[in-house]
């Protein structure tokens, strides 16, 4: 038994199932987006069994990306939870066969309350599709399951369709990283996107030197600053930066180490700078792009601090 070949076959079958969805894209997808975008209520997702698990994930993705949404279990819906649906909502019902009994039983109430019904289904002529207002075709050629029993390719295709809806809605709504952060304050990404440079920068005892500062003083100031750099100011204006790497390169530049140079001889001019009110994620992006570990913080052309890459990484 070749385990890797079996796994490879599963990946290929599921990948084909997702790619086949491209062929199913039609005006129904546009209609689904219009309904979800223009509803004054929420996008409710419902499904039974494995489709229910996928539906819960789709609802969670929608909710976290700007489309108010939650999952409702069809079994619980039949015993009171249908009261959670309001006339301004949209219902997305998921059933690969289109004949799931629990789903079909809630449809009359949905229709009576005139709630728009989007159906994700793999059978175009099924009972559920005939009841729906919009049909999103998630039909597959074969399940990845070796026994053709457990839903694998079908659930993957369903999840991909849900992701496509969420992603398109994000684009149409112009959903931005800052919006995402508002819904994810507890996660590392959310904290980074909500944290500003001024929250993390070092602003006291900054290692500041003059262009004419001599080597010995330069080393003392850099060491006491504990940031691995010195900021070079002239008449309170930023003219350069000296890192510990600049110092090492200067000392190795000659056969005999020199200890008589001044700051202006080894400083890097036009250093990178970030505004005090910028997001920490912006500062991180600049540092990663330019392969630096610290960046100067400015406010109205004044140097007010230093922010280090590790400080953002610890958020």
Q: What is the pLDDT of residues 114-166, one digit of tens each?
A: 999 999 999 999 999 999 999 999 999 999 999 988 999 999 999 999 999 99
Instruction: Evaluate whether 157 touches 138 at the Cβ level (below 8 Å).
Output: yes
List Cα–Cα distances, 50 to 56, 77, 153, 247, in angstroms.
10, 17, 12, 62
| pLDDT value of residue 60 | 96
224: tokens are 């006491």
Residue 152 contacts by C-beta under 8 Å, 6 or more apart in sequence?
10, 13, 14, 143, 144, 145
The domains of the chain are located at 3-175, 197-313
Which CATH code is given to the segment(s) 197-313? 3.10.580.10
The CATH T-level fold of domain 3-175 is Rossmann fold (3.40.50)
C-alpha angle 270/274/276, rounded to 5°?
Answer: 135
| pLDDT value of residue 278 | 93
Is 73 labeled as ligand-binding?
Answer: yes
Quote the CA–CA distance of 155 and 118 in Å, as a whole number: 17
Q: What is the pLDDT of residues 170-194, one digit of tens each?
A: 999 999 877 787 777 766 667 777 7
Q: What is the pLDDT of residues 204-226, one digit of tens each?
A: 999 999 999 999 999 999 999 99
Distance of CA 115 to the CA centre of its chain: 31
Number of Cβ within a 10 Å radius of residue 33:
18
**Main-chain dihedrals φ then ψ at residue 225, nearest 5 degrees:** -75, -25
């Amino acid at each position: 038994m070749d385990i890797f070949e079996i796994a490879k076959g599963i990946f290929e079958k599921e990948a084909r199932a997702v790619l086949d969805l491209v062929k199913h894209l039609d005006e129904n997808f546009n209609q689904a987006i219009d309904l979800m975008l223009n509803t004054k209520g929420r996008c409710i997702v419902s499904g039974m069994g494995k489709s229910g698990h996928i539906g819960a994930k789709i609802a969670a993705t929608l909710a976290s990306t700007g489309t108010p949404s939650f999952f409702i279990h069809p079994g619980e819906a039949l015993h009171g939870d249908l009261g959670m649906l309001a006339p301004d909502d949209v219902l997305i019902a998921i059933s690969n066969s289109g004949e799931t009994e629990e789903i079909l039983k809630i449809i009359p109430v949905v229709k009576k309350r005139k709630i728009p019904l989007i159906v994700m289904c793999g059978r175009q002529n099924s009972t559920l599709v005939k009841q729906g207002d919009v049909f999103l075709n998630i039909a597959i050629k074969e399940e990845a399951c070796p026994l053709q029993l457990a839903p694998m390719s079908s659930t993957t295709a369903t999840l991909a369709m849900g992701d496509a809806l969420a992603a398109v809605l994000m684009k149409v709504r112009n959903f931005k990283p800052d919006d995402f952060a508002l819904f994810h304050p507890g996660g590392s990404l959310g904290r980074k996107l909500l944290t500003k440079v001024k929250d993390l920068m070092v602003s006291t005892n900054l290692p500041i030197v003059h262009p004419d500062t001599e080597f010995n003083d330069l080393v003392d100031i850099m060491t006491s600053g504990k940031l691995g750099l010195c900021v070079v100011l002239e008449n309170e204006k930023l003219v350069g930066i000296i890192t510990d790497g600049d110092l090492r390169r200067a000392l190795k530049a000659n056969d005999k180490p020199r200890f008589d140079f001044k700051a202006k001889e080894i400083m890097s001019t036009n250093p990178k700078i970030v505004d005090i009110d910028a997001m920490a994620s912006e500062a991180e992006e600049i540092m990663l792009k330019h392969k630096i570990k610290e960046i100067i913080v400015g406010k109205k052309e004044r140097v007010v601090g230093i922010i280090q890459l590790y400080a953002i990484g610890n958020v």
